[in-house]
Amino acid sequence: MHKGMVIRKNEYHDSVFLMRVAKRISEQEGILQAVLFMGTEKNKGFLAEIGFTAGELAPASPGDLILAVEATTPEILTDVLKNMDGWLQPEPGSGTAAAVRSLDEALTRLPRANLAVISVPGFYAAREAQQALERGLNVFIFSDNVPVESERALKEYARERGLIVMGPDCGTAIIGGIGIGFANVVRRGPVGVIGASGTGIQEFTCLVHQAGSGISQAIGIGSRDLSDELGGISLLCALEALEKDNRTETIALLSKPPGPLALSNLLPKILQCQKPVVVCFLGGKKEPAPPDRLFQQARTIDEAVALAVRNVQGQLPPDFSSTAGDLEVLVSRERRAMNPSQRYVRGIFAGGTFCYQAQQIFNDAGLAAYSNAPIAGNLRLSDPLQSKEHSLVDMGADEFTAGRPHPMIDSRQRRERLLAEAKDPMVAGILLDFLLGFNSAADPVGELAPAIAEAKGEFKKRGGFLSVVASVCGTDGDPQSLCEQVARLEAEGVVVLPSSARAARFAAMLALQLKGGLSDVR
Lowest-confidence region among 68-72, 89-93, 111-115, 363-367: 89-93
pLDDT digits (tens, 9 = 90+) for 149-208: 999 999 999 999 999 999 999 999 999 999 999 999 999 999 999 999 899 999 999 999
What's the rounded Cα separation, in Å, for the pair 318 and 313?
A: 13
pLDDT digits (tens, 9 = 90+) for 104-117: 888 998 999 999 99
Beta strands at 344-349 and 427-435: parallel, antiparallel or unpaired: parallel
Give pLDDT tens digits for 244-288: 999 999 999 999 889 999 999 899 999 999 999 999 999 876 655
- Residue 50 confidence (pLDDT): 87
Following DSSP, what letter does each residue of 259-312 receive, concatenated? PHHHHHHHHHHHHT-SS-EEEEETTS--PPPPS-TTEEE-SSHHHHHHHHHHHH
**DSSP letters for 309-345:** HHHHHSS--TTSS--HHHHHHHHHHHHTT--TT--EE
Phi, psi of 500 (to 5 degrees): -65, -35
Q: pLDDT, tens digit, for every residue of 292-313?
A: 557 899 999 999 999 999 999 9
Sheet strand arrangement including 138-141: 115-118, 138-141, 165-166
Would you call 98 exposed, middle or buried from its count of C-beta atoms within 10 A (0-12, 13-18, 19+)? exposed
| pLDDT confidence of residue 98 | 57
Q: Residue 518 — pLDDT band, cuts 50, 70, 90?
A: very low
Q: What's residue 519's pLDDT? A: 47
Q: How many CA atoms lie within 13 A of 434 on its CB side?
A: 33
What are the strands of the beta sheet with 379-380, ordered from one edge? 379-380, 370-371, 391-394, 344-349, 427-435, 467-473, 495-497
Average pLDDT over residues 351-369: 95
pLDDT of 26 above 50: yes
Estimate to the nearest angstrom the gap between the alpha carbon of 511 and the chain centroid.
25
pLDDT for residue 20: 86
| Structure confidence at residue 289 (pLDDT) | 58
Q: What is the DSSP letter of 397?
A: S
CA distance 267 to 79: 58
Q: What is the pLDDT of residue 313?
A: 93
- List, in order of start, the domains of the chain with CATH numbers: 2-87 (3.30.1360), 103-313 (3.40.50.261), 324-514 (3.40.50.261)
More confident residue, 13 or 206: 206
Q: Tell me the CA distances in angstroms from 160 to 103, 165, 268, one per residue in order.
A: 22, 12, 20
pLDDT tens figures, 41-80: 888 888 998 889 988 999 998 889 999 999 999 899 999 9
pTM reported for the whole predicted model: 0.89
Nearest to 355 by CA among 380, 331, 376, 373: 373
User: Distance between CA atoms of 430 and 98, rounded to whole angstroms?
Assistant: 45
Mean pLDDT (the chain) is 91
H helices of 5-100, in order, are: 15-26, 41-49, 54-57, 74-82, 84-87
More confident residue, 122 or 25: 25
Q: By the 8 A CB rule, do 391 and 382 touch?
A: no
Determine if residue 370 is left, alpha or beta; phi over 0 gives left, psi from -120 to 50 gives alpha, anything else beta: beta
pLDDT, residue 284, reads 72
Which backbone phi and psi does 219 adopt, to 5 degrees? -115, 115
Q: Is the predicted pLDDT of residue 376 greater than 50, yes or no?
A: yes
